[in-house]
Structure 1
Amino acid sequence: MKRIRPLLAGLALASLAFAATAQPALRMAYVAPPPVWGPIADHYAKEVADRSNGELKVQSFGAGQLGSLPQNYAGLRTGQIDMMLADTGTLALAKGGKDFNALFAPYVFRDHAHFKAFMQSDTFRQMLAPVEKEAGFKYVGYVSDRSPRQLTTSNRKVLKPDDMKGLKVRVPETPAILEVMKGWGAAPTPVPAAELYLAMKQGLVDGQDNGFDAIAGAKYYEVQKYAMRIDYIQSGLMVLMAADKWSRLSPAQQKAMTEAVAATEKWASQMTWDVATKSIDTLKANGMEIVEPDLAAFRQAADKVITGFDGQLWSKGTIEKIRAVK
């Protein structure tokens, strides 16, 4: 009996120590359909669990289960959610994130390599620092490339901007994209990402913009006929965490979170490009026509709109700073 008591006491102390380090599951929100971003969210969660020796667990909620993008950003600030998996351009929706509207300015990046260079640049870090503080989140890191946004329609082949007149197109509710779509002649129509398939099926919108991988993953080929390769937005996925939650993690746990991002990015970015390439064949096999439009005409029309918003949608000179990144 004397031997059992010290053993029980030791077990009790061990349990208390584990309870002190273990954390409740961190709730990570994202708005895309689970078949599109779910594999990346799951891979990241596994990396976090492995690198924290099980102390940290990430539970993801896709398809807008925890709210829209603006609601998610507000939730990070108020503590209603713990984390976000989101497109880099959505930083414009964060409190104080006005200058990030420029990331969704069509053709602001020459190509994806230019975009990746920007995400690793001092220019990006200088833009991000005040937003992190004002919006109440920690930028944990860049977790995956996204294939360039394309245009799909159910009823019209688009070769030049004039062909878009009157088209009801669902796009992200970011000012730069909305205004450029209007400049191209389209009628941008807000629809939650989780409701987009049904909206296209019912004819509430004529088309949408997403990468080839997302188009195939969400089976939009069932309700769309044409896919125009316009490559007009370059972006990626990032992981954000509520600043208060981040500050409560130990240095070792914070390291596990950031290392998990880096490990996931290597896998996810390669997977994204592989899937995007295969997705073109999937779209063709399911009856979609891949269209090669006049990119010069789209770029020229977009630049006219973007120039007019310099100093309004973002601070004057922001576009030039981004384009100067090598």
Structure 2
Amino acid sequence: MLNWYKKSVVGLALVSAAMLSAEAHAKTLVKFASAFAAPELVEHQAIQAFKEYVELKSNGEMEVRLFAQSLGGDREMFEQVMQGSLEMSFPADGAIAGFYKPVQVLSVPYAIPTSPVAWEFFKTDFARQLTDDMREKTGVRTLALSESGFRSMSNNVRTIKTPADMQGLKMRTMESPVFMELMRSLGATPTPLPATEIVISLKQGIVDGQENPIPTIANSGIGEVQKFVSADDHVLGVQFLVVNDQFWQGLTDNERQILQEASHLLVNYSQANKLAAIDDSIAKLRDMGTEVYINTLAEKEMFRDAAQGPVKAYIESQVGEELVAAYLDAVEIAKARVYGD
């Protein structure tokens, strides 16, 4: 009887030791959700590169588990990162606005003129201070900012050349009051919907059109259900690569370094390849039978005159004139870095 007891104790000790050893060598799991499901999307490819880099550099000690369009829209995914049920996501700025109002400042229409200016803006003190403040207010840390492209209008009613062509259109927007105000300023009726519902809503005629970067329109199924695309470049889309800050603080220095390196890989891959793919995306849309109209500088000025004042005033009412002025100053700094004084 005593021998049986001794054997049992030894057996339990061995099992416990094995369990502790397994826990000590358990992988660090990073659940990463995004709205980018189609393999043709540059963002999807960039996120896949992120996963591969992290798992390679950690020698398999870190696992990145990807969820594409399965955990809700950007708004829902950002909220899950806030709550800690999800470690990472890659939401658009418009979807973050419901949780952190100051991010709306990035949506002043026609403020940032080109991609190189956007990339320099992301390096400014203003951008760093904005993301630091968001972390303090929400518990969500930004590892990197990424240009998702200048946004264009699409619809099934008519070619959009001037603001007059927007009159009466039912337009899907991000779940952002700023984008809703933008549509109202142009005479359209805004309908906020998550990205996961765009294509079906266009198919069913719930909305006439939507707005997104041209590569997204071409590669996400939107172009297949839209007759007209107009490249008016009204707002620069910004993606936030975010992580739950409590999770981040619990990582080792080496794990944090690997995730930070992979974050730079993700955004650089996404930005460079998206910009290089514009011509191919336009050609793809035209092959689908979608008309693509490139708005002239004079027409863009008409959109700017119609939309910038009302939208800027709305943003100022939400976040204050001082923040908006600081943002526009930072854009000027970025322009000077790219083009000189």
TM-score (norm 1): 0.88
Aligned to 1:66: 71
Contact 2:316 2:324 in 1 (8 A): no
- Of 59, 63, 71, 1:57 maps to 63
- Of 8, 30, 35, 1:26 maps to 30
Aligned to 1:306: 311
- Of 137, 142, 149, 2:140 maps to 137
- Deviations along 1:5-46, whole A, 9 cap, x unmatched? xxxxxxx99996674254343211223444433222211111
- Deviations along 1:148-203, whole A, 9 cap, x unmatched? 11011112111111111110111112121110110100011122211211111111
Aligned residues: 311
Task: Give the gaps of 5 or more residues in structure 2.
Answer: 1-15, 334-341
- For 2:33, the aligned partner's letter is A
- For 1:162, the aligned partner's letter is A
* Structure with max Cα Rg: 2
- For 1:249, the aligned partner's letter is L
Aligned to 1:157: 159
Aligned to 1:103: 106
- Of 85, 88, 92, 1:87 maps to 92
Aligned to 1:276: 278
Aligned to 1:7: none
Instruction: Please state whether the residue corresponding to 1:27 is helix, strand or coil.
Output: strand
Q: Provide the alpha-carbon RMSD of the alignment.
A: 2.2
1: CA distance, partners of 2:215 / 2:162: 23
Runs of 4+ in 1 over 6 A off after TM superposition: 12-15
2: CA distance, partners of 1:109 / 1:319: 13
Alignment of 1:165-204 (within 5 A): 165-204=167-206
Contact 1:225 1:287 in 2 (8 A): yes
- For 1:263, the aligned partner's letter is L
Aligned to 2:218: 216
Identity of aligned residues (%): 25
TM-score (norm 2): 0.84
2: CA distance, partners of 1:85 / 1:181: 25
- For 2:204, the aligned partner's letter is Q
Measure how far apart 1:317 and its partner are. Answer: 2.3
Q: Does 1:321 align with 2:321?
A: no
Contact 1:310 1:317 in 2 (8 A): no
Measure how far apart 1:223 and its partner are. Answer: 1.2
2: CA distance, partners of 1:310 / 1:148: 19
Contact 1:141 1:238 in 2 (8 A): yes
Shift of the 18–98 alpha-carbon distance from structure 1 to 2, 3 Å rule, reads same
Contact 2:93 2:240 in 1 (8 A): yes
Shift of the 180–314 alpha-carbon distance from structure 1 to 2, 3 Å rule, reads same
Aligned to 1:251: 253
Task: Give the gaps of 5 or more residues in structure 1.
Answer: 1-11
Contact 1:183 1:302 in 2 (8 A): yes
Contact 2:152 2:213 in 1 (8 A): yes
